[in-house]
Amino acid sequence: MKILVCISHVPDTTSKINFKENDTKFDNNGVQFVINPYDEFALTRAMWFKEKQGATITAVTVGNTSTEPTLRKALAIGADDAIRVNTEAIDGLQVAKELAEVVKNGSYNLVLAGKESIDYNGGMVPGMLAALVDYNFVNACIGLEIEGEKATISREIDGGKEILSANLPLVIAGQKGLVEEKDLRIPNMRGIMMARKKPLSILEPISTKTATTTASFEKPATKSACKIVSTENIGELVDLLHNEAKVI
């Protein structure tokens, strides 16, 4: 089985986020980038199939040279090789089209991705990718087993979970539950050393066209100071809730 794991290069959640050029571009200065956490669940599940069923794993990302350390981490975790599509990831459709070209040329049985990236939270790439390559698709996946050409999938739904079966080839958009957080892989020294020798291919993009452009970014409003009201002054509390907070 050939598995393609889609990797997003995203800011660490502890990073301080700023914008530049009149709030039209993200400021990378001082920001630490990591593998998108949802994609880590997908990569770890792919490692299970590699160890139990002899699958091969290719990690892929769409991005410039700054994304290569993130791909190298995926190689250190256990991916056999990696592909970088040499263009900046601008919008979901553009990324999906570039990934679709990789899938078509690689004849992958299974494509694993996180359900969304934690920077833009678009949640659109896996579904569009599946449509472009005409693969079966399951979103919000929290469990995956494969026997031969048949997959059994658990997905999260409102108030519970749904069990599905599907034939390969298949695109999965995973989340926490696909593996547990305690099972996520951390690169060890041997893996880091081996990653340096594993192939990382650079592919030129099929197109530079995008469907959307970013007009501007805006940070959430700063939280106001907390007001303390005495338990003996119920009238003031009611007045603040009614006239200032406007919740009653």
**Separation of alpha carbons 25 and 90, rounded Å:** 11
How does pLDDT run across 134-156, given as a tens digit for each residue? 999 999 999 999 999 999 999 99
pLDDT value at residue 14: 85
User: Is residue 147 classed exposed, middle or buried when 0-12, 13-18 and 19+ CB atoms within 10 A define those classes?
Assistant: exposed
Query: Above 90 in pLDDT, residue 13?
Result: no
Query: What is the average per-residue pLDDT within 160-183?
Result: 94
Taking CB atoms within 8 Å and a gap of at least 24, the contacts of 44-49 are 44/77, 44/178, 44/179, 44/183, 44/184, 44/185, 45/112, 45/144, 45/174, 45/178, 45/179, 46/3, 46/5, 46/79, 46/110, 46/112, 47/77, 47/78, 47/185, 48/179, 49/1, 49/3, 49/110, 49/146
How does pLDDT run across 56-115, given as a tens digit for each residue? 999 999 999 999 999 999 999 999 999 999 999 989 999 999 999 999 999 899 999 999
Helices (H), the chain: 37-53, 68-77, 92-106, 125-133, 189-195, 234-239
pTM of the model: 0.86
Residue from 224, 229, 111, 244 nearest 174 by CA: 111
What DSSP designation does 242 have? I
Average pLDDT of every residue of the chain: 92
Residue 81 DSSP SS3: strand
Instruction: Tell me the longest C-alpha to C-alpha distance in the chain.
Output: 72
Tell me the fold of 2-217: Rossmann fold (3.40.50)
In the structure encoding, which two tokens stand for residue 238, read together? 């009611």
| 69 prior amide bond cis, ω within 30 | no
- Give the DSSP H/E element, type plus range, for residue 56: strand 56-62
**Separation of alpha carbons 77 and 41, rounded Å:** 12
